[in-house]
Structures are given as structure tokens and as C-alpha cells.
Amino acid sequence: MPLLKKRPVCPVHGDALILSHHGRKSNIGSPLLEVRGAPILYCPACHEQRQDTSVEVEPAASNAFLRKLQRLIENSEFPSPLQRPKISVDFNPARAKPEGFDMPAGAIYDLSQPASGASAAPSLPEPESDLSLQTLRPREPRQNLDQLVLDSDTLARIHEAVNVLVSQELLFDTWNLASVARTGRRVALNFYGPPGTGKTLAADAIADLLGRKILVISYAELESKYVGETPKNIKAAFARAAEQNALLFFDEADSILGKRLTSINQSADNGINVARSTTLIELDNFDGAVIFASNLVRNYDTAFLRRMLAHVAFKLPAAEQRQAIWQCHLPEQLPLAADVDLAELARFSDGAAGGDIQNAVLLAASYASMRKGEQQVVARRDLERAIRFILDGKRRILESDD
């Protein structure tokens, strides 16, 4: 069965791309899995000019397969860690190399490896980037949707947007929306709102719902730490997320979502423009899920607007949500005094974000821990004192900003 319904052509030469089963696939990072080649499409003319424009055929499918396999090994019990099997996956069918396809020496990848030879095909070069691999390692989601307290409208918007990912097969394959979707299967969302309102929590919860890892990248960090290297790092982030089918989460994305600057006075401004353009290009080539989180952005670049499936506003919680947030931040084991009334606490904490409530619980518990014996319980005055302290501090900072 052909892998693609329509054979794509090279955008530079117009030649039909050739399917080769001698491509390469980088390992997905599990020490227990060894991965060899994968089918790729390449342009013979680019190839002659030693340009590596090859693309892997259906990387999502092979990545999904590898992830399943990895989960299976991780969740299986073995008598001892040493008896865990090492599994080798060879995506290259055992057949001869395509006729007339000899890779020139020094080419970027070596397709002349024997299909099922003893030596493992070297993996794809890591995307060149200044970010350490540690930073670019997707992690398991830390929270789930049950822990996210939002008003019903915001929750519904999140569910609707995420459903595009959950129902991909029905939408894109069975109903063939793949033929008309301008943005491919990519789903880009923008979460915006004040600090501590649950944007990161929501991203984690969505990754959890999708059964994917999450790759968290801070734009602000990219820009300040790696001056001049930002575009390279942005590319590396997209590549890593695609390779591992992770949900890509760009935190602190305010500057990147703003309008591109038309008069460039300083090189820093130019850097921002280049980073924005790189992000747009990478977004267009990305097939996965990406979430941008920002504090209030008023001046969106329309190029980003068009590419987002949804913008979700995270607001400060109303009293009803504050009560639920207090509730879910008080673990069963935390000793509470009888005078703690969550409805009252919710009224008392007007203006608090979920993050403030989280901090207040910790602070209140710390006050209680300094007492002895029967007094060592969290009382209403501890919680009120803690949240007042946090909100006063915030107010003072905001006033000094003005």
C-alpha cells in the first residue's frame, strides 16, 4: 500500500520525490530501544547537489509506534533491571539499495548502510543548538485536568480546542479534512492571562490527556541567554518536539507574539524579528500540538493570529473557583483547625490567583509548623494572614511599577 496518496514534488526543482527505505531515524532517547532507518522521500536533483532536503515519511506514525513500545517495556515487570530486553527496531525493509542511488561522500546522511547489516545506522545529527539536551528533554506531565479549576466557559474552550487533537483520525482521515486544512494537523493555542492563573497547569493537563510528554521552552530565557542563537534554538525545539511527539509549550511568549517591528533600530530588535519569522516558518512545518503562554498581549502579530486555532483567556478566579482552588490545595494529611471555612476564605481572598493560593497554603502551614503540640494545626488566622501577606506584597510591587 503506498504510504502517501500523492507523491510530493521538490519545491526547488519540481522533480517528483523518490521514496527510499534507507533513511535514518534518530533514537527516541530510550536506552532500551535501538532504532535504525526509516523511509524517506528525497529529491534526486537536490541529492546530486549534496543538499539534504529529504523528509521522513510519516514520522508521527513511526514515533507513535516507538513510544508505545517504550511504554510497554517501561510498564512491564522483569525479574531484575538487568533482564530488561534491549529491542532493536529496523525500519529499513531488507532489500537492496535503490538503483542508481549512491550517496556522494561527505553527504549529510549516509544512505548506503546495509539495510539489515550488523552495524547500527548512525542516528540523525542532533539539531545544532546552544540549548543543552537536558533543557530540550520533554518531561512527563505533572498535572491533570481534574486539578484545573476554571470557569465553565474557559474549560469548554479548552476542551473544544483539544478535541481537534483527540479526534485527529476522524477529522483528518475519515472525514478527509486533511485535504482542505491549510494548517495541516497542527494545533496551535495561545493561553494568555495574569501570572499564576493556571496556564502552565493547563498545558500539563492537556499533555496528560493526550498521553504525550511536554517540552517546555521559555522564550524569555531563549532571548536573554542565547543572544543571536535564538532562531537555531527555536528550530531545535520544534525538531525535538516533532521527533518525540511531545506537546511543545512556549512559556513567556509575549515578545514573540507581538507585532513584527517595521523600523529596526537596534540589533536586539532585529533579533526579535528573526525569532518571530523563524517561529512562523517552523509553525508552518509543524504537525503537532503547540501552546504559547503569555501575560496580556494586546498587540498580536496577525501572522500569529491566523495560525492559532484558539486564544484562551485565563482570568483571576471568581469566589466560586477560589473556593475550589483552596480545597484542592489542602492535602488530606494537613491538620486543619475546625474554624477553617473555605467559602469564607474564598471571599477573603478576592484578587488572588491560583498561584497565590498555592503559596498561601504553604506559608500558612509553615506558620503552624512553628507551633508545638495541639497548636500545630493550620487555623483560619494562618490562612488569612498568609494570603493577605501575599496579596499585599503583590499590590506593593504593582504600585511601585506604576
Looking at the Cβ atoms of 127 and 355, the one nearer to ligand ATP is: 355
Q: Say which residues have a Cβ less than 8 Å from residue 32's Cβ, sequence separation at least 6.
A: 70, 73, 84, 85, 86, 87
Q: Say which residues have a Cβ less than 8 Å from residue 257's Cβ, sequence separation at least 6.
A: 190, 292, 294, 297, 300, 301, 304
Looking at the Cβ atoms of 154 and 200, the one nearer to Mg ion is: 200
Stretch near ligand ATP under the rule CB under 6 A, chosen from 2-10, 88-96, 114-122, 145-153: 145-153
Stretch near ligand ATP under the rule CB under 6 A, chosen from 87-95, 147-155, 237-245, 338-346: 147-155
CB of 316 to ligand ATP, least distance (A): 9
- Three-class secondary structure assignment of the chain: CCCCCCCCECCCCCCECEEECCCCCCCCCCCCEEECCCCEEECHHHHHCCCCCCEECCHHHHHHHHHHHHHHHHHCCCCCHHHCCCEEECCCCCCCCCCCCCCCCCCCCCCCCCCCCCCCCCCCCCCCCCCCCCCCCCECCCCCHHHCCCCHHHHHHHHHHHHHHHCHHHHHHHCCHHHCCCCCCCEEEEEECCCCCCHHHHHHHHHHHHCCCEEEEEHHHHHHHCCCCHHHHHHHHHHHHHHHCCEEEEECCHHHHECCCCCCCCHHHHHHHHHHHHHHHHHHHCCCEEEEEECCCCCECHHHHHHCCEEEECCCCCHHHHHHHHHHCCCCCCCECCCCCHHHHHHHCCCCCHHHHHHHHHHHHHHHHCCCHHHCCECHHHHHHHHHHHHHHHHHHHHHHC
Stretch near ligand ATP under the rule CB under 6 A, chosen from 29-37, 63-71, 173-181, 199-207: 199-207
CB of 142 to Mg ion, least distance (A): 12
Give the Cα-Cα-Cα angle 53, 58, 59 (nearest 5 degrees): 75
Q: Which of residues 16-75 bind ligand ATP (CB under 6 A)?
A: none
Q: Which of 46, 210, 325, 368 binds ligand ATP (CB under 6 A)?
A: 325
Q: Which of 21, 185, 199, 307 binds ligand ATP (CB under 6 A)?
A: 199
Q: Taking a C-beta distance cutoff of 8 angstroms, is the pair 312, 188 a contact? A: no
Q: Which of 54, 200, 230, 279 binds ligand ATP (CB under 6 A)?
A: 200
Regarding 358 and contact with Mg ion (CB under 5 A), the answer is: no
Looking at the Cβ atoms of 37 and 198, the one nearer to ligand ATP is: 198
Report the distance separating Cα 378 and Cα 357, nearest Å.
14
CB of 294 to ligand ATP, least distance (A): 8
Q: Which of residues 163-202 bind Mg ion (CB under 5 A)?
A: 199-200
Binding mask 196-235 for Mg ion (x = CB under 5 A): ---xx-----------------------------------
Residue 150 site contact among ligand ATP, Mg ion, none (CB < 5 to 8 Å, cut-off depends on kind): ligand ATP
Regarding 148 and contact with ligand ATP (CB under 6 A), the answer is: yes
Stretch near ligand ATP under the rule CB under 6 A, chosen from 39-47, 63-71, 146-154, 231-239: 146-154
Looking at the Cβ atoms of 150 and 242, the one nearer to ligand ATP is: 150
Residue 368 site contact among Mg ion, ligand ATP, none (CB < 5 to 8 Å, cut-off depends on kind): none
Q: Which of 8, 114, 184, 195 binds ligand ATP (CB under 6 A)?
A: 195
Regarding 150 and contact with ligand ATP (CB under 6 A), the answer is: yes
Q: Taking a C-beta distance cutoff of 8 angstroms, is the pair 332, 358 a contact? A: no
Binding mask 267-306 for ligand ATP (x = CB under 6 A): --------------------------x-x-----------
CB of 146 to ligand ATP, least distance (A): 10
| Number of shown-chain residues binding ligand ATP (CB under 6 A) | 18
CB of 96 to Mg ion, least distance (A): 52
Closest chain position to ligand ATP (CB):
354
The residues of the shown chain that bind ligand ATP, judged by CB under 6 A, are: 147-150, 195-201, 293, 295, 314, 325, 354-355, 358
The residues of the shown chain that bind Mg ion, judged by CB under 5 A, are: 199-200
